[in-house]
Structure 1
């Protein structure tokens, strides 16, 4: 009975959210949105992986306000019509209010686990990145970060200034990154330093 009620509630929520498909069909970024949907579904509910994309899209839009932020970002990106359309939809389909996304380019598959008190202001972000809650990715007078592919930025971390985080990097919880991070590293601490490089434990300062 409980499972039936949950499923029924989810179905109603998806029906209510259905008008948001208009944005998808008008978007120039359909392919990227589809890749976003596939990654999110794989992470949050892999039992739905075989469902049609539009069903999974509605599922995510109806449940995850963080996904709505990313969705609106995709719709607006490089599209003035999309920008104006999203303004109206945002009145009825709310975003996560404490999640801010300001980035010139974000690769497909960005997963935002919790959007609480999170600022994403980078020059660019690669594919299949993962950002947790209370993260600040921000700028100084020198510029903003460039983040590579398959980067995880854990809860409470700060990545600030003109720097690059290369591919396959994990930034530990509450770390403060103010210098470049090379490929295949795990960094922790304040200021951040490398504790693992290419799968081998080390203790190295960032340069």
Structure 2
């Protein structure tokens, strides 16, 4: 697909890209069994790129930018903008992103 750009050398097994239209992936690394939807940007800020751990889902239109880590088993909600580290087992939404679920419990926490 001519609008799907993947510039990541270290990608674990099981990466699923659903509708790769207008998707840019320039992470330091992507763990195993990750899911990335359409119009997602995983990009660098200067020379720093994100690290995506195992079992992460990144929904449509989300942006993950800079030297951040998205912890394992996390979800980045549609159109969220992540510029700070996301702890494992969390769901984040919003601009800028904040935590709405951690370890299966509803919360409202800043990143």
Report the TM-score when normalising by structure 1: 0.53
Q: Which has the higher helix share?
A: 1
Cα RMSD after superposing both structures = 0.6
| 1:141 CA displacement | 1.4
Matches of 1:173 and 1:135, distance apart in 2: 9
Is there any run of 5+ residues in structure 1 with no aligned partner, and where?
1-95
Residue aligning to 1:147: 52
Matches of 1:174 and 1:119, distance apart in 2: 14
Residue aligning to 1:173: 78
Residue aligning to 1:187: 92
Matches for 1:31-46 after TM superposition, within 5 Å: none
Q: Does 1:159 align with 2:33?
A: no
Q: Which has the higher contact order (CA 8 A, sep 6+)?
A: 2
Report the TM-score when normalising by structure 2: 0.99
| 1:128 CA displacement | 0.1
CA-to-partner distance for each residue in 1:155-183, whole Å, 9 max, x for gaps?
Answer: 00000000101100000000000000001
| 1:142 CA displacement | 4.7
Structure 1: which 4+ aligned runs deviate by more than 2 Å?
A: none
Q: Which has the higher strand share?
A: 2
Equivalent pairs counted in the alignment come to: 111
Is there any run of 5+ residues in structure 2 with no aligned partner, and where?
none
Residue aligning to 2:2: 97
Residue aligning to 1:91: none
Residue aligning to 1:201: 106
